[in-house]
Structure 1
Amino acid sequence: MFSMNIAVDQRALARLPQQQRAIDRFELVLQEAQTLLAEEGLAGFSIPAVAARLGYTRASIYKFFPTPYAVLNELVRRHFAGLEQTLVADAAQLARRDWQDVVRAIVHAAAAFHNEHPTGMMLALGGAVTDESYRSYELTVRHLGGLARQLLQARGLTVAAEPVDVATLAVDVATTCFRHSYIAHRLITPDYERAAADVMIDFLARQLGLQKA
C-alpha cells in the first residue's frame, strides 16, 4: 500500500460534538442516514432527505456534517473501526491454531462482519466515496496487516514489513476478492470467501516460503 499525500478536505469530515445533547443528535443523524441508505441507496441519499425524516433543520445537520460526504465518511470510518475491533477480539482465540486455519478464520470473521452490516459494506466495498474514505480503507488494511503479522510471528514465522509489507498486501488481496463479491452479489458469498482465503494463503506461502497443508 502507498500513502496518499492529498490534502484533507475538511468539508468531507464530520465535526465531532462535545455536549451530550449535540452528541445525541449527531448519533441520530448517522442512524437515520444508515436507514436511508439501506432503503434508497446512494442515489437517494442527501442531507435534506435526512433532515426531513428526522424533523431537523438542514442547518442543524450541516453544523456537524458540512457535506453529505462527511456523513458517508463517518459511516465508512465506523465500519472499518468495527471490523478491526472484531478481528482483534477474535485474535486471542487463534493463538495455537495452524497458520492456514488462522487465515481462514480471519477471512471468515471479516466476511461475516461485512454481511452483518450491509450499509457499511456498501460504502466500504462499493468504492471509495472520497479521498478521506480511501484513507480509512488504507489505514484499516495496514492495521489488519499488522494483526496478521503478529499472529504469524507468534507461530515463529518471520514476516517483515520491508522492503515489501507482505502481510498488508495479503490483506489487500483478500479485500479485493470481497469487493468483487459485493459488486456481483451485494454480499460476500461463501465462494468468494473461500477465494479470498485461498489467495491470501497462496500469497503468504509463496512470499514466506511456507508449506501448505
Structure 2
Amino acid sequence: MNALTPPVLDPAAVAKVPTQNRAKLRFEAVLLESERLLAQSGLERFSIPVLAERLDITRGSIYAYFPTHYAILNELVGRYLAEMETMYRNQYDDLIRSPLIESVRRVVHQAVEYHNNRPVARLLMLGGAVTDASYRAQEMLLARLGHMGREIWEQHEGSQGIPEDVDIFTVSVDLAVACFRRSVFQFGEITPAYRDAAIRAMYGFLEAYLDP
C-alpha cells in the first residue's frame, strides 16, 4: 500500500456521517461534548454512556452515528489533521519563496501554536496513538506533509536532486513530531526549548541531504 493511499479501517472505528440536518446537529453536538469531556477528564472517563448522560440523550442515538467511542476519537483526530494540512496548504506559495531554514521555522512554530492552543488535539495527536485508525491517519498526514515538502523544495531555484531511497522530508517531519511528543510527555505542552529542538532536528537532517 502506498503511503498516500487511504488504509482500510475497521467499520467500528469510523463515524457514520449523517445527511439530514437534524441528524447533523446531533452528530456535531456529540463531537463538541466529546471535546469538552476530553478537555476536562482526558481519556480515562471518556465513554459513550458518559456522553449520553451529559447530553441527556439515549446511548442508542449516539451509537447510530458512532459504533464505538473509538469512532468519535477518530473523527476528532481526522478533523484536527485536516485543519493542519489546510493550514500548511494555505502557505504553500510563501514557503516556496522562503529559504529552507525559514520554512522550517515557520512550519514548526505554527505546529507548536496549533497544539498548544488545542489541548484535546494535543492529547489525541501527541499523547500516543489512540487506535490503529488514528495512528494510520496521522502517519498518512505526515507522509502528505513530507510530499508537500518535496514539492516545495523542487520549486526552489537552484535546488538539486532529492534522494529517492530515503523519504527525507517525511523523516524530517517525524523528527519534529518526536520532539513535540517528548515535550508533551514531560511538560504537558510543547515548550520553547523543545520547539527549538524540533527546528534543529528538521533543518539539520535536511541540510545533510540537500545542497543549499
Give yes or no for TM over 0.5: yes
* Aligned equivalents of 2:122, 2:180: Cα separation in 1: 10
Q: Deviations over 1:123-167 (max 9, x none)?
A: 001011111001110111011112222222221324647221111
Number of the residue aligned with 2:145: 144
Number of the residue aligned with 1:14: 15
Map 1:102-181 to 2 at 5 A. 102-156=103-157, 157-158=159-160, 160=162, 162-181=164-183
Structure 2: give runs of 5+ residues left out of the alignment. none
Aligned residues of 1:87 and 1:110 also touching (Cα < 8 A):
no
Aligned residues of 2:7 and 2:136 also touching (Cα < 8 A):
no
Structure 1: give runs of 5+ residues left out of the alignment. none
Aligned residues of 1:152 and 1:159 also touching (Cα < 8 A):
no
SS of 2:172 mapped into structure 1? helix
Q: Deviations over 1:165-196 (max 9, x none)?
A: 11111111111111111111111111111110
The root-mean-square deviation of aligned C-alpha atoms, in Å, is 2.0
Residue 25 (structure 2) pairs with residue 24 (structure 1): yes
Residue 76 (structure 2) pairs with residue 75 (structure 1): yes
Number of the residue aligned with 2:203: 201
SS of 1:42 mapped into structure 2? coil
Closer, same or farther: CA 125–4 of 1 in aligned 2, 3 Å:
farther
- Displacement of 1:13 after TM fit? 0.9
* Aligned equivalents of 2:124, 2:19: Cα separation in 1: 26
Number of the residue aligned with 2:45: 44
* Aligned equivalents of 2:64, 2:120: Cα separation in 1: 24
Return the letter of the residue paired with 1:81.
Answer: A
Q: Deviations over 1:37-92 (max 9, x none)?
A: 00011001111111111111000000111111110111111111111111111233
The two structures have a TM-score, normalised by structure 1, of 0.92
Closer, same or farther: CA 145–4 of 1 in aligned 2, 3 Å:
closer
Closer, same or farther: CA 5–25 of 1 in aligned 2, 3 Å:
closer
* Aligned equivalents of 1:136, 1:112: Cα separation in 2: 21
Return the letter of the residue paired with 2:115.
Answer: H
Identity percentage of aligned residues: 42
Number of the residue aligned with 1:57: 58
Q: Deviations over 1:93-141 (max 9, x none)?
A: 3332211111111111111111111101100010111110011101110
Return the letter of the residue paired with 2:164.
Answer: E
Return the letter of the residue paired with 1:127.
Answer: G
- Displacement of 1:23 after TM fit? 0.9
Aligned residues of 2:12 and 2:67 also touching (Cα < 8 A):
yes
